[in-house]
Structure 1
């Protein structure tokens, strides 16, 4: 056996390893269904060297030459669809299907063409180069930033350039005037080894990206409340110190707002726990609606929630700040709960600004104490330290005979 045969065997073994690995990932991590696409891609890649080997050792050379080409082009186009699935975008299969069909049409038109000529080799490699560009464009849509994604893009950029360079390699090294001669040429060795190395690198970087996303999903699940999707106490413990450190570094304000839904137990008692869950989810959605991307919304437990609100412009000595405006927005939106088929609801809470030297736990505890004071003062309050300001009251749903309470917000 010549060196090209050994290279084909090595490529088929590496492709088989990726097939098994991506299959295990797809089975183990239920959210990593995109790994199925990658498994299929490398399965097709595995068939390519197998067809090359069968081409050499059987009499069905034309059949296996066409099948090998179809499998390899299919591997690249399936990879582009798999990366779309991995990125969480709607699958757009048409470009991949059109590229595969066009590539196979071109391949069939080249049967009987003049091999070892630059036009022939350029047309032969063109679908693979276009497929690599399609994969590269799909990778750019992955929201998961970082060096691994960048390296994967670089690898597929090199792969695309590699396919465009192959015709010149064939012309300089000599690919032979027939498929039989190509099988024993030095160009075949260089082609198989270089392609194999690049595709192994792509598979490894893609695997790292898949594993990284699986770990990120696991961490996100551990740090998220399963009912509302907001951060839980563990998420607060991880993300909160970063907000605190950023506020200290930039000299900005950081406010903690603790909110407690009033008489939530009565919601469960009067309407059932299913309605109680709906209320919690609706309130969490409300918080997501009013909170910008830099605001951390947390479900502390039960009907208690918290917001960490950075404020680069709000003066420390005034209660007219970003957190207070959010409190007003929250109360205004709560008045619309009945339009969603939910019980009318009020909220009590406290807003405090981070003090120098104060820990995150101390900050949350101060806001919680202020929320407790609001509860004891008759509920339907959001108090602000150090300068509470009265605003228009709202009416509690559970007892319409009670007069409207004064609600202090910042």
Structure 2
């Protein structure tokens, strides 16, 4: 086995391993469509390498040559589609079809040209270079400028340069072989395949890391959400609420208010859709949209309102209470709700605000429900006077 054939074997193995990795991500996260396209791209890349073995064996050489060229081009187009899905950029399928058909026709026209003709070598590599730049354009248009995005753009630009420069490298090291079957025995084949494998592996691993990170982030977001209402669950609300308070403190804007809202009813499993979801719909309609809203219990919700004081929060709570009371005329849809409100004090954590708002909520319940109560300042204490017997 020649050195180039050994590298072919390595490249084929790498393509299959990378395809399996992307398929695993896609299997684990059905929403990650980019992973499925990357898996398909590496399978097509493996097909391109497998066709090189057929050429070396002098079997169906013309068909195998076309398969090698078009399969690798299709693999690169698959990477382009994957990046468009990952970066959520527009992709014109008609343009991709034209690129593939035109390139296939170009490859067919160059089959009978002298293999060491520099013009033929440039024409052969030109579609690969252009598709590399097309893939780069998706990253650039997304306006994402994190470290991994810059690394990916550099690698795609490097790939385009390498494809264009291959004709120069081939002439420097003795050509690509007078016949297609001779390619595997040339020095150029070893250089081209080994450098290409390194570059493809770097691009593939980088995209795999990005897609796996996206999947992990999506799973974390899902674990922080209440499936019934779409709001944050208790853990998610505590994490995001604390982060929001820290952000307000760092920006110098210390005002924030917290509303605890609870329906005045024991929620049973069969009543959730008719009572909780309409109430959640009212919360979804709140303005501004940057409010941090969480479902802390079966019938209890929390609304953290940045840059809002106690009176502003009370206005919001009263508006919600009236809407719920008005909807009471619809049998089985709504019940009344109680509200407890507090505002951020110096040095407060979210847990401190929740403690005072919960005290105010209990006051509203003790008053018979369907009302809004404000919490006492922390310096005044939260103890209730004992009833006189």
> How far apart, in 2, do the equivalents of 1:133 and 1:293 lie?
38
1:86 CA drift (Å): 4.2
CA distance in 2: counterparts of 1:118 and 1:338, whole angstroms: 81
Q: CA–CA distance in 1 between the matches of 2:17 and 2:261? A: 53
Give, in angstroms, the shift of residue 178 of structure 1.
4.1
Quote the Cα distance in structure 1 between the aligned partners of 2:199 and 2:315.
Answer: 55
CA apart distance, 1:308: 1.7
Counterparts of 2:259 and 2:203 in 1: how far apart (Å)? Answer: 47
CA-CA distance at 1:354 after TM superposition:
1.4
Alignment check: 8 A CA contact 1:22 1:36 kept:
yes
Distance 2:22 2:199 in 1: 18
Q: Are the equivalent residues in 2 in contact too, given 1:12–1:46 (CA < 8 A)? A: yes
> Aligned partners of 1:336, 1:161: CA distance in 2, in Å?
68
TM-score scaled by length of structure 1:
0.79
Residues 1:298 and 2:294 aligned together: yes
Query: Residue 38 in 1 paired to residue 74 in 2?
Result: no
2-structure distance, mates of 1:181, 1:88:
43
What is the aligned counterpart of 2:366 among 376, 383, 391?
376
Q: How does 1:1-400 map to 2 (within 5 A)?
A: 1-87=1-87, 93-139=93-139, 146-176=146-176, 177-265=178-266, 273=270, 276-292=272-288, 294-311=290-307, 319-321=310-312, 323-324=313-314, 326-327=316-317, 330=320, 343=333, 346-384=336-374
The answer for unaligned runs of 5 or more in structure 1 is 388-410
Give the equivalent residue in structure 1 for 2:383. Answer: none
Q: Is the 8 A contact 2:133 2:160 kept in 1?
A: yes
CA distance in 2, matches of 1:52, 1:249: 60
**Distance across 1 between alignment mates of 2:163 and 2:330:** 58
RMSD of aligned Cα (Å):
3.3
1:249-272 CA-to-partner distances (Å, cap 9, x unmatched) read 23322434334244344xx68xx8
Offset, 1:220: 1.5
Gaps of 5+ in 2: 378-389
**What's the secondary structure of 2:71's corresponding residue?**
helix
Count of aligned positions: 376
| SS of equivalent residue, structure 1 residue 290 | coil
Name the structure 1 match of 2:385.
none
Q: 1:185, 1:376 → 2: CA distance?
A: 88
